[in-house]
Amino acid sequence: MTVFIPKEVYLTVVAACVRYANKRIDIDDWLEVSGIFIGKNEGEDVYITKSYPIMHQELDKDAVIDQYKWSDEDYEALYVIDDEAFSNGEFTVGWWHSHPGFKIMMSHIDIKTTLSYQTNNALAVSLVFNPERLVRQIELAEKKGDPVKQLEGDPGFKIFRLDDVNKGIQASYHTVDYVVKGFDSNEQLVTLTQKFLIDITNMFPKENIFETYEKFITDRINELNSRLQGIEEYLNTLTRKGESHRVVEVLNSQTRDIRKFIAETFIKVENIKQFKNYLEYKERSTIVPKVETILAEWDETVSQLNAKLTAIAKKFAI
Ligand SMILES: [Zn+2]
C-alpha cells in the first residue's frame, strides 16, 4: 500500500497542528490536534484528496498524551464531511493527529481510534505528525538516553496501520509508504514547509483569528488612507512654497512607495485567504464569512486607489 498526499493536504495538517504548537506558545501549553482524511482507494493504494482539521485538545496541565476527546459537534462534523464526500464518490480514508514535541508512534488510545477507522474501512490509515520533527529533522530516541537519529528530507510524520484488526486494541501496527505530491524533492518539501511553518506561527493564531485579521486589514486601510492624505498635504506645501515644479516628481515617488506597500500587504492578504482554509470544521461557518468581508474591504480600498491618485494629480493640475 502507498498513500498519496497532495501538497495542500499536507500543508493543512501542518498548519492546523502548528497553530497549537509553535514558538509563540509556551511548550507546556502545546496541544494535540486531530482531523480526518477524505479520498479514495485504487487497489490497495490510498489517494487522499482533502484534509479536515476537526478539533484540538483542551489545555490540561495534568493530561497525559492523547487525551483528545471529540465532542458531539466534532462527530457531527465528521458525518457531514463524510456525507458530502460520498456525493463526490469519496469517503473517509483515515485520520490524523499531532504529537507536538514528542515521539511519533501509536499510543493505546491511537490504536483504539485507528481500530474504529480500520473497522469501517479496511484500508484506512492513521497519520501522526510532530512539527518539531519537521523543524529539527531528528527522530527522537525510543528510550531516554538513546541517541536521536538525524533525518534528511523528512516531512515530520509517519503513517501507520494496524496489522490485524481482529486482535482489537491488542493489535500491533506497522508503518506505510507514502508520497507527498507537489514538491520537487524531499529537501524542497522541508525547506518550503519550514518557511510555511513560520508564516503559520506569525499569521495563524490559535485564538482571535478574525480579530487578528480584522486589525491587520483595518490598520493597512488606515495606513493607505493616511499615506494618500500625506501626499496631498505634501503637494500643498510644495505649491505654497512656490515649488510646483517638484510636484510631478514627488507624486511619482510617493506613488511608487504606495505600490510597494500594496504589494507587501498583498502577500499577507494571500496568506489570510489561504490560512482560513486551515480552520477547524466547526469554526468555519462563523469565521470564514467575517474574514471574507474584511478581505473584501481591502480589495475595495485597493480598487479605488488609481482613482484617488488621479484625483490628486488633477487637483494639482498634472
Ligand atoms: Zn497519539
The verdict on 275 and 188 lying in the same domain is no
Domain boundary among 203, 221, 251: 203
Ligand 1 centroid to residue 154 C-alpha, Å: 19
Number of C-beta neighbours around residue 115 at 10 A? 19
Radius of gyration of the CA atoms of the chain, in A: 25
CATH number of the domain encompassing residue 217 = 1.10.132
**What would the pLDDT profile of 136-189 be if each residue is shown by its tens digit?**
999 988 888 888 899 999 999 999 999 999 999 999 999 999 999 999 999 999
In the reported structure, the alpha carbon of residue 65 is separated from the centroid of ligand 1 by a whole-number distance in angstroms of 7
Ligand 1 centroid – CA 170 distance (Å): 16
pLDDT of 38 strictly over 90: yes
Say yes or no: 12 and 106 in one domain.
yes
Q: How do residues 186-237 score in pLDDT, each as one tens digit?
A: 999 999 999 999 999 999 999 999 999 999 999 999 999 999 999 999 999 9
Closest listed residue to residue 73, CA positions, set 316, 282, 241:
282
pLDDT digits (tens, 9 = 90+) for 42-87: 999 999 999 999 999 988 777 778 878 899 999 999 999 999 999 9
CATH code of residue 93: 3.40.140.10
**Domain shared by 35 and 182, yes or no:** yes
Same domain for 88 and 118: yes
Locate 209 and state its grid cell: 483569528
Q: 191 with 238, same domain?
A: no
Tell me how far the alpha carbon of residue 14 lies from the centroid of ligand 1, in angstroms. 15
Domain boundary among 173, 203, 233: 203
Cell numbers for 261:
506597500
240 and 176 in a common domain = no
Q: Which of 170, 203, 236 is the last residue of a domain?
A: 203
| CA distance linking residue 189 with residue 180, whole number of Å | 9
Domain containing residue 310:
209-315
Q: Quick one: 153 and 36 in the same domain? A: yes
> Is there a single domain that holds both residue 189 and residue 40?
yes
Cα(84) to ligand 1 centroid in Å equals: 27
Alpha carbon of 194 to ligand 1 centroid (Å): 22
Grid-cell match 460520498, residue found: 86
- Output the CA 187–ligand 1 centroid distance in Å: 26
213 and 291 part of one domain = yes
Supply the pTM of this predicted model.
0.93
* DSSP helix/strand/coil, 174: strand
Average pLDDT over residues 2-12: 98
Count: domains in the chain? 2
| 16 to 65, 194, 217, 275: CA distances (angstroms) | 18, 14, 22, 9
**Ligand 1 center–CA 69 separation, angstroms:** 12
pLDDT at 186: 96
Q: What is the mean pLDDT of the chain?
A: 95
Ligand 1 being an ion, which residues bring their Cβ within 5 A of it? 66, 107, 110
Q: Are residues 138 and 13 in the same domain?
A: yes
Mean of pLDDT values over 265-293: 97
How far does the centroid of ligand 1 lie from the alpha carbon of residue 105, in Å?
Answer: 7
pLDDT, position 109? 95
CB atoms within 10 A of CB 303: 9
Residue 53 and residue 157 in one domain: yes
**Looking at residue 68, what is its pLDDT?**
81
Whether residues 182 and 266 share a domain: the answer is no
pLDDT (0 to 100) of residue 141: 83
Q: How far apart are CA 117 and CA 159, in angstroms?
A: 14
The per-residue pLDDT for 58 is 87
Residue 97 CA to ligand 1 centre (angstroms): 7
